[in-house]
Chains A and B, each alone.
Chain A
Amino acid sequence: EAGVAQSPRYKIIEKRQSVAFWCNPISGHATLYWYQQILGQGPKLLIQFQNNGVVDDSQLPKDRFSAERLKGVDSTLKIQPAKLEDSAVYLCASKPQGENTIYFGEGSWLTVV
Protein backbone atom coordinates (compact mmCIF):
# COMPACT_ATOMS: atom_id res chain seq x y z
CA GLU A 1 0.00 0.00 0.00
CA ALA A 2 1.38 3.39 -0.99
CA GLY A 3 2.00 5.79 1.87
CA VAL A 4 1.23 9.47 2.20
CA ALA A 5 3.01 11.33 -0.58
CA GLN A 6 4.27 14.88 -0.16
CA SER A 7 6.08 17.32 -2.41
CA PRO A 8 8.33 19.14 -2.67
CA ARG A 9 10.62 17.47 -0.19
CA TYR A 10 12.73 20.58 0.32
CA LYS A 11 12.15 24.24 -0.41
CA ILE A 12 14.18 27.37 0.28
CA ILE A 13 12.51 30.74 -0.25
CA GLU A 14 13.10 34.32 0.75
CA LYS A 15 10.85 36.00 3.28
CA ARG A 16 7.73 37.52 1.79
CA GLN A 17 7.71 34.98 -1.04
CA SER A 18 5.02 32.33 -1.37
CA VAL A 19 5.22 28.54 -1.30
CA ALA A 20 2.80 25.66 -1.80
CA PHE A 21 3.01 22.10 -0.53
CA TRP A 22 1.07 19.19 -1.95
CA CYS A 23 -0.15 16.05 -0.22
CA ASN A 24 -1.71 12.86 -1.57
CA PRO A 25 -3.07 10.78 1.33
CA ILE A 26 -3.38 7.02 1.47
CA SER A 27 -6.17 5.87 -0.83
CA GLY A 28 -9.50 5.75 0.94
CA HIS A 29 -8.48 7.83 3.95
CA ALA A 30 -11.18 10.41 4.54
CA THR A 31 -9.34 12.40 7.21
CA LEU A 32 -6.32 14.51 6.31
CA TYR A 33 -4.14 16.59 8.61
CA TRP A 34 -1.46 19.21 8.09
CA TYR A 35 1.03 19.59 10.93
CA GLN A 36 3.89 22.05 11.36
CA GLN A 37 7.00 20.75 13.13
CA ILE A 38 9.63 23.26 14.14
CA LEU A 39 13.07 21.85 14.91
CA GLY A 40 13.18 20.35 18.41
CA GLN A 41 9.41 20.47 18.87
CA GLY A 42 6.55 18.07 18.36
CA PRO A 43 4.16 18.34 15.41
CA LYS A 44 1.56 21.08 15.84
CA LEU A 45 -1.77 20.70 14.07
CA LEU A 46 -2.54 23.39 11.49
CA ILE A 47 -5.70 22.03 9.90
CA GLN A 48 -7.82 18.89 9.73
CA PHE A 49 -10.08 17.90 6.83
CA GLN A 50 -12.81 15.30 6.76
CA ASN A 51 -13.28 14.57 3.06
CA ASN A 52 -13.30 18.08 1.57
CA GLY A 53 -14.63 19.86 4.65
CA VAL A 54 -12.59 21.60 7.33
CA VAL A 55 -12.99 20.08 10.78
CA ASP A 56 -10.49 22.21 12.70
CA ASP A 57 -8.35 25.12 11.55
CA SER A 58 -8.15 26.97 14.85
CA GLN A 59 -4.35 26.98 14.84
CA LEU A 60 -3.90 27.94 11.21
CA PRO A 61 -2.50 31.51 10.85
CA LYS A 62 -5.13 32.48 8.36
CA ASP A 63 -3.56 35.81 7.48
CA ARG A 64 -0.79 33.95 5.65
CA PHE A 65 -1.65 30.24 5.55
CA SER A 66 -4.37 28.61 3.48
CA ALA A 67 -5.23 25.02 2.72
CA GLU A 68 -7.71 23.26 0.53
CA ARG A 69 -8.85 19.76 -0.30
CA LEU A 70 -11.24 20.40 -3.15
CA LYS A 71 -12.13 16.88 -4.24
CA GLY A 72 -11.66 15.20 -0.88
CA VAL A 73 -8.41 13.56 -1.92
CA ASP A 74 -5.27 15.65 -2.55
CA SER A 75 -4.58 18.71 -0.46
CA THR A 76 -2.50 21.84 -0.86
CA LEU A 77 -1.08 24.03 1.89
CA LYS A 78 0.01 27.54 0.90
CA ILE A 79 1.99 30.17 2.74
CA GLN A 80 1.93 33.74 1.48
CA PRO A 81 3.84 35.80 2.43
CA ALA A 82 6.36 33.62 4.25
CA LYS A 83 8.11 34.75 7.42
CA LEU A 84 11.39 33.55 8.88
CA GLU A 85 9.51 31.78 11.68
CA ASP A 86 7.70 29.62 9.14
CA SER A 87 10.90 27.61 8.68
CA ALA A 88 9.80 24.12 9.67
CA VAL A 89 8.81 20.72 8.38
CA TYR A 90 5.23 20.55 7.10
CA LEU A 91 3.84 17.09 7.69
CA CYS A 92 0.76 15.73 6.02
CA ALA A 93 -1.03 12.78 7.61
CA SER A 94 -4.13 10.77 6.89
CA LYS A 95 -6.40 8.46 8.85
CA PRO A 96 -8.81 5.74 7.80
CA GLN A 97 -12.40 5.84 9.00
CA GLY A 98 -12.95 4.00 12.25
CA GLU A 99 -9.30 3.82 13.26
CA ASN A 100 -7.23 6.02 15.54
CA THR A 101 -3.84 5.57 13.94
CA ILE A 102 -2.68 8.35 11.67
CA TYR A 103 -0.14 7.83 8.93
CA PHE A 104 2.40 10.54 8.17
CA GLY A 105 4.21 11.48 5.02
CA GLU A 106 7.92 12.22 5.04
CA GLY A 107 7.31 15.95 5.26
CA SER A 108 8.20 19.04 3.27
CA TRP A 109 11.14 20.96 4.68
CA LEU A 110 10.83 24.72 4.37
CA THR A 111 13.64 27.17 4.99
CA VAL A 112 12.80 30.86 4.82
CA VAL A 113 15.84 33.13 4.48
Chain B
Amino acid sequence: SQKIEQNSEALNIQEGKTATLTCNYTNYSPAYLQWYRQDPGRGPVFLLLIRENEKEKRKERLKVTFDTTLKQSLFHITASQPADSATYLCAPSASGGSYIPTFGRGTSLIVHP
Protein backbone atom coordinates (compact mmCIF):
# COMPACT_ATOMS: atom_id res chain seq x y z
CA SER B 1 0.00 0.00 0.00
CA GLN B 2 1.03 3.61 -0.49
CA LYS B 3 3.08 5.00 2.35
CA ILE B 4 4.28 8.50 3.14
CA GLU B 5 6.94 9.03 5.80
CA GLN B 6 7.77 12.27 7.49
CA ASN B 7 9.90 12.66 10.60
CA SER B 8 7.63 12.17 13.57
CA GLU B 9 9.99 13.94 15.91
CA ALA B 10 9.92 17.73 16.05
CA LEU B 11 12.74 19.61 14.39
CA ASN B 12 14.23 22.27 16.65
CA ILE B 13 16.49 24.90 15.10
CA GLN B 14 17.85 28.33 15.91
CA GLU B 15 16.52 31.44 14.21
CA GLY B 16 18.46 32.28 11.07
CA LYS B 17 19.41 28.69 10.28
CA THR B 18 18.07 26.61 7.42
CA ALA B 19 15.41 24.05 8.27
CA THR B 20 15.27 20.90 6.15
CA LEU B 21 12.27 18.59 6.31
CA THR B 22 12.09 15.20 4.62
CA CYS B 23 9.24 13.37 2.92
CA ASN B 24 9.73 9.81 1.69
CA TYR B 25 7.09 7.80 -0.14
CA THR B 26 6.81 4.19 -1.22
CA ASN B 27 4.68 2.02 -3.47
CA TYR B 28 3.56 4.69 -5.89
CA SER B 29 4.84 7.26 -8.34
CA PRO B 30 3.30 10.67 -7.75
CA ALA B 31 3.14 13.15 -10.59
CA TYR B 32 2.97 16.04 -8.14
CA LEU B 33 4.06 16.66 -4.62
CA GLN B 34 2.74 19.48 -2.49
CA TRP B 35 3.80 20.95 0.82
CA TYR B 36 1.33 22.49 3.24
CA ARG B 37 1.75 24.36 6.48
CA GLN B 38 -0.58 23.72 9.41
CA ASP B 39 -0.74 25.89 12.50
CA PRO B 40 -2.34 24.57 15.71
CA GLY B 41 -6.11 24.65 15.48
CA ARG B 42 -6.09 25.68 11.83
CA GLY B 43 -6.56 23.95 8.51
CA PRO B 44 -3.54 23.23 6.28
CA VAL B 45 -2.43 26.02 3.94
CA PHE B 46 -0.80 25.34 0.57
CA LEU B 47 2.82 26.41 0.18
CA LEU B 48 4.43 24.86 -2.90
CA LEU B 49 3.78 22.29 -5.61
CA ILE B 50 6.50 20.51 -7.55
CA ARG B 51 5.98 18.24 -10.55
CA GLU B 52 7.78 15.00 -11.26
CA ASN B 53 9.75 16.57 -14.10
CA GLU B 54 10.97 19.42 -11.89
CA LYS B 55 13.99 18.90 -9.70
CA GLU B 56 13.64 22.05 -7.64
CA LYS B 57 11.11 24.78 -6.94
CA ARG B 58 11.63 28.01 -5.02
CA LYS B 59 9.35 30.59 -3.47
CA GLU B 60 10.89 33.35 -1.40
CA ARG B 61 12.68 31.59 1.50
CA LEU B 62 11.22 28.19 0.60
CA LYS B 63 12.80 25.56 -1.61
CA VAL B 64 11.48 22.12 -2.49
CA THR B 65 13.32 19.31 -4.26
CA PHE B 66 11.78 16.19 -5.75
CA ASP B 67 13.89 13.10 -6.43
CA THR B 68 11.74 10.46 -8.11
CA THR B 69 14.62 7.96 -8.03
CA LEU B 70 15.04 8.22 -4.28
CA LYS B 71 11.27 8.70 -3.86
CA GLN B 72 11.96 11.66 -1.68
CA SER B 73 11.18 15.36 -1.37
CA LEU B 74 13.12 17.81 0.74
CA PHE B 75 11.60 21.06 1.99
CA HIS B 76 13.96 23.84 3.00
CA ILE B 77 13.27 27.10 4.82
CA THR B 78 16.24 29.43 4.73
CA ALA B 79 16.85 32.20 7.28
CA SER B 80 14.21 30.62 9.48
CA GLN B 81 12.14 32.76 11.85
CA PRO B 82 10.09 31.90 14.94
CA ALA B 83 6.99 32.64 12.83
CA ASP B 84 7.93 29.64 10.67
CA SER B 85 7.15 27.35 13.63
CA ALA B 86 4.34 25.05 12.51
CA THR B 87 3.68 21.54 11.25
CA TYR B 88 4.60 20.93 7.62
CA LEU B 89 2.71 18.28 5.66
CA CYS B 90 3.75 16.71 2.39
CA ALA B 91 1.13 15.45 -0.02
CA PRO B 92 2.14 13.41 -3.07
CA SER B 93 -0.51 12.84 -5.70
CA ALA B 94 -0.75 10.59 -8.75
CA SER B 95 -1.71 11.98 -12.14
CA GLY B 96 -4.82 11.22 -14.12
CA GLY B 97 -8.34 10.62 -12.96
CA SER B 98 -9.54 12.28 -9.79
CA TYR B 99 -7.08 14.40 -7.91
CA ILE B 100 -6.74 13.11 -4.36
CA PRO B 101 -3.78 14.38 -2.35
CA THR B 102 -2.67 11.89 0.30
CA PHE B 103 -1.03 13.50 3.30
CA GLY B 104 1.85 12.48 5.50
CA ARG B 105 1.57 12.91 9.24
CA GLY B 106 3.65 16.08 9.11
CA THR B 107 6.79 17.26 10.84
CA SER B 108 6.65 19.88 13.56
CA LEU B 109 9.21 22.66 13.16
CA ILE B 110 10.14 24.82 16.13
CA VAL B 111 12.35 27.83 15.49
CA HIS B 112 13.94 29.24 18.62
CA PRO B 113 14.77 32.96 18.85
Given contacts A48-B100, A56-B98, is CB(A101)–CB(B105) below 8 Å? no
Q: Is the interface on chain A under 10, 10 to 19, 20 to 34, or 35 or more residues?
A: 20 to 34
Is A88's beta carbon under 8 Å from chain B?
no
Contact A42 B45 (CB under 8 A): no
Hey, what's the 0/1 contact readout for A94-111 against B, CB within 8 Å counting as 1? 010000111111110000
Residues from 76 to 107 in A contacting B, C-beta threshold 8 Å: 91, 93, 95, 100-107
Residues of A within 8 A of B106 (CB): 42
Contact B98 A104 (CB under 8 A): no
- What's the tally of chain B residues with a CB closer than 8 Å to chain A? 22
Describe A's contact surface by its main secondary structure: strand
Nearest-neighbor residue (CB-CB) of B101 within chain A: A102
**Minimal beta-carbon separation of B38 from chain A (angstroms):** 9
Contact B103 A43 (CB under 8 A): yes
| Bound Cα distance A48, B99 (Å) | 9
| Bound Cα distance A43, B36 (Å) | 11
| Bound Cα distance A43, B102 (Å) | 8
Q: Name A103's contact: one of B46, B102, B105 (CB within 8 Å).
A: B46
Contact B49 A101 (CB under 8 A): yes
Hey, what's the 0/1 contact readout for B38-62 against A, CB within 8 Å counting as 1? 0001111110010000000000000
Is A31's beta carbon under 8 Å from chain B?
yes
Nearest-neighbor residue (CB-CB) of A104 within chain B: B43
| Bound Cα distance A103, B102 (Å) | 14
Nearest-neighbor residue (CB-CB) of B108 within chain A: A40
Q: Name A100's contact: one of B43, B45, B93, B102 (CB within 8 Å).
A: B93
Interfacial residues, chain B to chain A (CB-CB below 8 A): 4, 6, 32, 34, 41-46, 49, 89, 93, 98-106
- In the complex, besides A91-B43, A107-B43, 14 extra interface pairs with C-beta distance below 8 angstroms are A4-B43, A40-B105, A41-B105, A42-B89, A42-B103, A42-B105, A42-B106, A43-B44, A50-B98, A56-B100, A91-B44, A95-B99, A104-B43, A104-B45
